[in-house]
Structure 1
Amino acid sequence: MQEVEKSLANWTHSLKELQTMKADLSQHILAEDVTVLKEQIQLLHRQWEDLCLRVAIRKQEIEDRLNSWIVFNEKNKELCAWLVQMENKVLQTADVSIEEMIEKLQKDCMEEISLFTENKLQLKQMGDQLIKASSKAKAAELEEKLSKINDRWQHLFDVIGSRVKKLKETFAFIQQLDKNMSNLRTWLARIESELSKPVVYDVCDNQEIQKRLAEQQDLQRDIEQHSAGVESVFNICDVLLHDSDACANETECDSIQQTTRSLDRRWRN
């Protein structure tokens, strides 16, 4: 384009010289020839003006395309950065309850994604326009960038889905622990009450002794039957202690550890 503009500048000088030559010739040729020469020069001027206009339009088209490339690359970079930021935000463990984290993912994050959907659509439209006006190599480059955006966009939804699923599983574990602990506390209180009662014989005979032995055996069987439930609670506590969402802060970790120690102490006693 610079070479074309330089050539036009040279021709501008030539046209001025031609105008000067026409003025000189007009004094030495017939009037009819002057008219013909004038018409030819006017035609040449019109062609010249048309050419200048075409060059100006072409220059503007090139500048617009270059500007579109710059804008596309900037918007693509911004969207990529936002996708990375969102993914980090989704995976981050916040110092809030699991219910609040799930709500933030399903509401706040989806609202933010909805806002950026328009940015993604604009980028796609801009990319499609550039692809039509670009060489095969540039078009392939654009298609690759748009494809990567689509992949990362879908990946963000996959990450959110996996994160919500995992949080719900953790929440279910916590609810199960609370339920099991409540049942175990009730049962332990009853067993502890039974075991704390002194063994009193109404009469000292074999039948009474067998009755007391049967009662102790019933208690022993009851304890053995609950051993699996106690082990299940210990396992759930261990899982939650290694879960960053269940132990998002020191207070929550201490609570689970205290629950485990309390249950272990009462169970052993």
Structure 2
Amino acid sequence: MITYKTNEEVALMQISALLVSDTLAEIAKVLKPGMPTIEIDRIANEFILDNGAVPSFYKYNGFPYHIITSVNDVVVHGFPGKYELRDGDIISVDVGTIKNGFHGDHAYTFIIGEVSPEILKLVKTTKESLFVGIKEAVAGKRLGDIGYAIQAHNENEGYGVVKDFVGHGLGRSMHEDPQVPNYGKRGSGMLLKENLVLAIEPMINLGKKEVFIEKDGWTVRTKDGTPSVHFEHDVCVKKGEALILSDYAPIELAEKQNSNLNTSYY
């Protein structure tokens, strides 16, 4: 069932989305080589609780951590743990919050230190494709227009567009209808109407699109072992231009000020 939000509900959702943005900015301030990913989980959980919200992911369908940390060939749903970040890693951090009864949910990929030009290009292209997709999230377009735009932008560079995991509607539940694939046919799918809130999230592999799930039942990796990048925004469909509820500006500011992080692809 599709749930359209009132303007008042959209405003509440923006509060939750911006708290996710601020949480990711806090993480961006402290990421460095040698940091165990479980420490990122602790920092995020503490910040979310201090701001009057609770983490969306904790115990969601049994997920045992507060946030998701996906390193290198992990596409999504990576467990925080003892792994210590290294120079040359990329890490996608996915955060969800519940505040005022509504969820915020988005993700950002960080580069630790120096990486190859091909990794820089993958991060840049994936991030670009998110905004290419968001441009299609306007009233009167079709759901397939979003996926087509994301798919074309990445496949033009030879990247694998993950099809097994997709974006989704967002609201009082973290996963609402409709599903929002990162692939599709232009002009296909449901008609987009005002105040539909979507989590648009390209998951793009340097190599092939195929993935597999680890024995833990959660961690998703690329089948060919190549790196994967994940960016996500919370977006409200409007006439003429989509309203992005989350905000990368504070994340990017913190990222640029942290000498351990590589922003040379900007």
User: So what's the TM-score if we normalise by structure 2?
Assistant: 0.22
Name the structure where helix makes up a greater proportion of residues. 1
Name the structure where strand makes up a greater proportion of residues. 2
User: Is the radius of gyration larger for structure 1 or structure 2?
Assistant: 1
User: So what's the TM-score if we normalise by structure 1?
Assistant: 0.22
